[in-house]
Amino acid sequence: MADKTDVLLAFWQEQRESDRQVENQRATLTNIIVVIVSAGLGFLAQKGLHPPMLTVTVTMVALGIYGAMASLKSHERCAFHMRQARWLRQKIGVLHPELEFEDGLAAVRSTHRLRFPLLVRTRMYALWVALHSAIALSGAILSVWILAV
């Protein structure tokens, strides 16, 4: 039978892999949205801002909103897997205090925060939500422009 550390390590690895899978799905979705929106903007540039082009601009709004919501959901899932992985890592640290996991990681975090004080406070998911929100806002502005002109 495997010892406790092996079991905890296997569960920890599973949580980290789940976290990576969620992030890969978010990246793929964002890439698809950016490609579609880019094609839509190219189409708008060729055809001009006329009422039939509302189909393209409203689609941009919908894709932007969907991307922002999907990014928020991805953040929630990643946070869930990371909390579980952190708990498992702490359990391994308790089983092997001589490894000084928590002390070593705390020192690394402290040094990192000193080196990157502003970036540490910037959350990656917020940047993805901002990107998708900008796509939705662009679509909304173009839609209003079409309707106003």
The per-residue DSSP string of 17-72 comes to HHHHHHHHHHHHHHHHHHHHHHHHHHHHHHH-S-GGGHHHHHHHHHHHHHHHHHHH
| Residue 149 confidence (pLDDT) | 84
| Residue 31 confidence (pLDDT) | 98
Q: What is the pLDDT of residues 110-133, one digit of tens each?
A: 999 999 999 999 999 999 999 999
Whether 1 has a pLDDT exceeding 60, the answer reads no
Whether 62 has a pLDDT exceeding 70, the answer reads yes
Distances in Å between the Cα of 117 and the Cα atoms of 27, 53, 113, 121 are 26, 44, 5, 7
| Residue 101 confidence (pLDDT) | 84
In the chain, % of residues over pLDDT 70: 99
Tell me how far apart the alpha carbons of residues 94 and 90 are, in angstroms, rounded to a whole number: 6
In the chain, % of residues over pLDDT 90: 96
Distances in Å between the Cα of 137 and the Cα atoms of 18, 44, 64, 90, 118 are 32, 16, 8, 43, 26
**What average pLDDT does the structure give for the chain?**
96
Please give the average per-residue pLDDT across 86-94, as a whole number. Answer: 94
Q: Which of 54, 58, 72 is nearest to 132 (CA)?
A: 72
Please give the average per-residue pLDDT across 74-97, as a whole number. Answer: 95
Overall pTM > 0.75:
yes
Looking at per-residue confidence, does 5 or 149 come out higher?
A: 5
Per-state percent for the chain, helix, strand, coil, to nearest 5:
90, 0, 10
Q: At what angle do helices 4-47 and 124-148 cross, to 10 degrees?
A: 20
| Residue 2 confidence (pLDDT) | 65
| Residue 66 confidence (pLDDT) | 98
